[in-house]
Structure 1
């Protein structure tokens, strides 16, 4: 550990702290935990907003009846598989559009204003979706694009908040809990959708509930969050010291060193690892049930618990592996990241291969569930490595991850249609083996290039200052 760097960095923080007014309410030196909870709720609600249509599309029969003449209900856009597929793909298109300016907004306006701006867009778009349904398909498509646009910041902000607010001794726990938004989003949406669809108000109630909850969470975030702990009036000197301990002084430059990062072997290895993981995750998410139903003949019940089970297990795993990753100090940070990444993607690939080889319905369901669940472990593998190595520029690493996720979502339907034109068991097995092989091959480089030391471009050269994310 660089003790000199830690001392310099804390002295830097202390100088900034002297210019802030400290509140007498310091939450037992745990203000960072309120920041963590507030951040998780914002990320969760935005992600949940983008999932609403996935669950309410099955209970929107009233719209079909109102907008169709008798006998022509099958021609309605809610009954057209190609048009409903476009509505689901619109989230990925919106995410691509939203990811493009995220770097500019973070550097120009900082974390707080970026999160709140994207959150308000999400809340407004979600509240307008029932109205858009009344006007027709094109209007719903536009609203879905705005929902995807606003959800695009989740990956970038997740890493950046963790980098700013977590002590190094809690880095794994912080990033693991923040990433629970990807599991909490579906878990939150499913029961709300079930309640809304069964209520006298119908499916529209879901979107008004989601919009209201999201807006409240982002209003609280706006008033309580600050981009750096040094500027937060509720952060005590003791807590500030805890957050700053062990951190090397950061670079004075405010612009992201794109060229250096794109040439960094560790960053490239992280990108390859996450892309490989996401190919398998999105395939399991979108096509796992289709494979088991059409090829294995498995009757997948449309119950909230059955659908949510992989997400519940994944969230529980994150609560476990985060603290383990932080407290397993007998091993170096680099070794821990490599081990957790290998466990995550090794089990992930093995689960998909099991789905390809088995004809047993129970084994297939267990493999499907465990494959999605073990993806969560990589949050303290490649994702944690990105935070420790890229430091204040981790948002660029995660923005590229967001871009790649969008392309994967758009690419998978083409891959499935090419490799499984007849939906035969042989074709699906070949596709599953291809997916599992891709996961293994794309994760191998990370083992050799992983580096948890701060990259040279993140460090101060002449004098120590706080990094360039704006604060108010």
Structure 2
């Protein structure tokens, strides 16, 4: 028997003795990661965002007549029932997807400009631009949907240079045998930001006003930019505070891999490199599942599993805690295997990619068969996302293995393709879950798992772990 979209919601409220009217009038306000993140996603870039839910749904007033909507009187929201913006579903789709159209535009240019002019100011100013437009988002929303779409496209343009620039910078800073642990620690900021932002932005939206989500995180972004400008240097050679011993260690470990011979970029060799296309396919496949969970996990938890705003904010953060933890631990293990156990780089990258892609595929499918078993569903979805953190030591940093001098450009290429799932994946998933039945969600999970499995196999067959001949004038293969 097919269950309707409220089956778990109603069942959960019966078990918790909440009035059934809460299933119809309760408000769910899930949220999204902070704007600076790995596989970057600015605050409010998905339908999972609290500000978006507060904008396009009615919010319960704090009156005795509707206190049944909330768990306890102490959690009442101090604002009245309003529909802030009455946008139709098509307009909402354009607003929610507009970030990606700007984001995809600056991926490859970001990598090129970072190599040519240095990554520090490109990355810093890109984030600062995103911060400015984040602060302008409430004003744009008041002016109209068209203005909001334009602002979000501009946010994407600024955010798009972030990780190509970061990869370009790490090419000068990460010794080959320390890449896994250095990059995974740095990029864990994505998960940390998500863990903080999910419950915090839900609280801000619920107790204050949706605009404060943007103002508060915008201020945090400005503080970050000031620290970045004062503390960061493009290369070890220009850093004023590291010791000479450390400087020599880093530069000497990289001098056989880097080439800085003018502005020549071997575009033909880059675009015909099968190891690069192996990363492209893996990155695309992994991000399909990532963006599907990022945008729709809070919706699944609220509409199918029936979690409240408080539960949703906290439980939606669980996968990112596990993802960040496994990313860091995986980075330590990957470099240990390469340095102490003498495993070849290509073996480590492929092994970590397989675990980080097949593991999530298995558990995301399993989550679709938990029915209304909330504990098991949350556990499987959390394990699925957590295991995905292992790819941080797999294909995700393989650009630096095969072409460190062009790592920013390569990341721009792969991330351009990997952005496409963020544009179309959630749209397809929403089209398949019109009634929010468990059977519909099983189809979504099967598609994500199948794409993940294909990417894992393709990367295993064609991935490599050596510096490619076209990437350096005097080819050396460090670590193989």
User: TM-score higher than 0.5 here?
Assistant: yes
Q: CA deviation at 1:350?
A: 0.5
Deviates more, 1:90-99 or 1:56-65: 56-65
Question: 1:280-319, CA deviations, whole angstroms, 9 ceiling, x for partnerless residues?
Answer: 111222234545665xx42133232112111111111122
Q: Which runs of 5+ in 2 are unaligned?
A: 1-33, 61-80, 476-480
Residue 232 (str. 1) matches residue 229 (str. 2): no
Corresponding residue for 2:274?
Answer: 265
Q: Which runs of 5+ in 1 are unaligned?
A: 1-40, 66-71, 463-472
Q: Distance in 2 between matches of 1:111 and 1:289?
A: 35
TM-score (norm 2): 0.77
SS in structure 2 at match of 1:451: coil
Q: Which of 151, 157, 160 is residue 152 of structure 1 equivalent to?
A: 160
Q: Distance in 1 between matches of 2:301 and 2:129?
A: 37
Residue 204 (str. 1) matches residue 204 (str. 2): no
Residue 315 (str. 1) matches residue 324 (str. 2): yes
Q: CA deviation at 1:48?
A: 6.8
Matches within 5 A, 1:56-455: 56-60=51-55, 77-78=85-86, 80-99=88-107, 101-197=109-205, 202-247=209-254, 248-251=256-259, 252-291=261-300, 297-303=304-310, 304-328=313-337, 329-330=340-341, 331-359=343-371, 360-416=373-429, 419=432, 424-455=437-468
Name the CA shift for 1:249/1:158 in 2 (closer, same or farther; >3 Å): closer
SS in structure 2 at match of 1:51: coil
Q: Distance in 2 between matches of 1:167 and 1:43?
A: 25
Q: Distance in 2 between matches of 1:289 and 1:416?
A: 14
Corresponding residue for 2:26?
Answer: none
Question: 1:124-180, CA deviations, whole angstroms, 9 ceiling, x for partnerless residues?
Answer: 111212222332222222221222221112331232222221222321011112222
Name the CA shift for 1:429/1:188 in 2 (closer, same or farther; >3 Å): closer
SS in structure 2 at match of 1:101: helix
TM-score (norm 1): 0.78
Checking the alignment, whether the CA contact within 8 Å between 1:48 and 1:188 is kept in structure 2 is no
Question: 1:170-195, CA deviations, whole angstroms, 9 ceiling, x for partnerless residues?
Answer: 21011112222332332232344245
Checking the alignment, whether the CA contact within 8 Å between 1:48 and 1:189 is kept in structure 2 is no
Name the CA shift for 1:256/1:171 in 2 (closer, same or farther; >3 Å): same
SS in structure 1 at match of 2:263: coil
Q: CA deviation at 1:422?
A: 5.7
Q: Distance in 2 between matches of 1:398 and 1:121?
A: 21
Question: 1:18-57, CA deviations, whole angstroms, 9 ceiling, x for partnerless residues?
Answer: xxxxxxxxxxxxxxxxxxxxxxx99449957433782223
Q: Distance in 1 between matches of 2:412 and 2:314?
A: 32
Checking the alignment, whether the CA contact within 8 Å between 1:158 and 1:179 is kept in structure 2 is no
Q: CA deviation at 1:356?
A: 3.6
Q: CA deviation at 1:421?
A: 5.9
Q: Distance in 1 between matches of 2:143 and 2:431?
A: 35
Q: CA deviation at 1:60?
A: 4.8
Name the CA shift for 1:89/1:204 in 2 (closer, same or farther; >3 Å): same
Checking the alignment, whether the CA contact within 8 Å between 1:389 and 1:451 is kept in structure 2 is yes
Q: CA deviation at 1:237?
A: 1.6
Name the CA shift for 1:380/1:232 in 2 (closer, same or farther; >3 Å): same
Q: CA deviation at 1:361?
A: 3.6
Q: Cα RMSD over matched residues? A: 3.1
SS in structure 2 at match of 1:255: coil
Q: Distance in 2 between matches of 1:270 and 1:388?
A: 12
